[in-house]
Amino acid sequence: MLHLADTLSFSGRKVVAAGAAVPFPALQGSSLPDNLCSYQDTPWKLLSSCREPQGSCCFAQSVVLRGMGRENPLRQPPSPLHLCQSTEQVLQLYLHSLYPGAFSTVHVLEEPCSTLPPYPQFFSPLLTRQGFLLDTPSSCPSPAVESIPVLAALQSSPALHSLLGGLCQELCQLCPRRWPAFFAAGVELEEFQEALEELRTLAQCYATGLEADESEDEGDSD
Q: Is 119 exposed, middle or buried (0-12, 13-18, 19+ CB in 10 A)?
A: middle
Instruction: For the chain, give percent helix, strand, coil, nearest 5.
Output: 35, 15, 50
40/60 Cα distance (integer angstroms):
20
pLDDT given for residue 49 in this prediction: 79
Strand partners, 127: 133
pLDDT given for residue 75 in this prediction: 54
Establish if 32 belongs to a structural domain: yes
Containing structural domain, residue 86: 1-156
Asked if residue 106 lies in contact with residue 60, where contact means CB atoms within 8 angstroms, the answer is no
Whether 32 and 138 share a structural domain: yes
Q: In the 8-state DSSP scheme, what is residue 161? A: H
160/17 Cα distance (integer angstroms):
7
122/127 Cα distance (integer angstroms):
11
Q: In the 8-state DSSP scheme, what is residue 117? A: T
| 173-198 per-position pLDDT tens digit | 887 777 777 777 777 888 888 999 99
Which regions of the chain are under pLDDT 50? Answer: none
Say how many domains are in the chain.
2
Whether 131 and 168 share a structural domain: no
Question: CB count, 10 Å around CB of 63?
Answer: 21
pLDDT given for residue 214 in this prediction: 54
Whether 107 and 57 share a structural domain: yes
Cis peptide before 77 (omega within 30 of 0): yes
pLDDT given for residue 150 in this prediction: 96
Whether 75 and 177 share a structural domain: no
Whether 63 and 40 share a structural domain: yes
pLDDT given for residue 194 in this prediction: 92
pLDDT given for residue 111 in this prediction: 94
Which of 91, 62, 64, 88 lies closest to 155 in space, CA to CA? 62
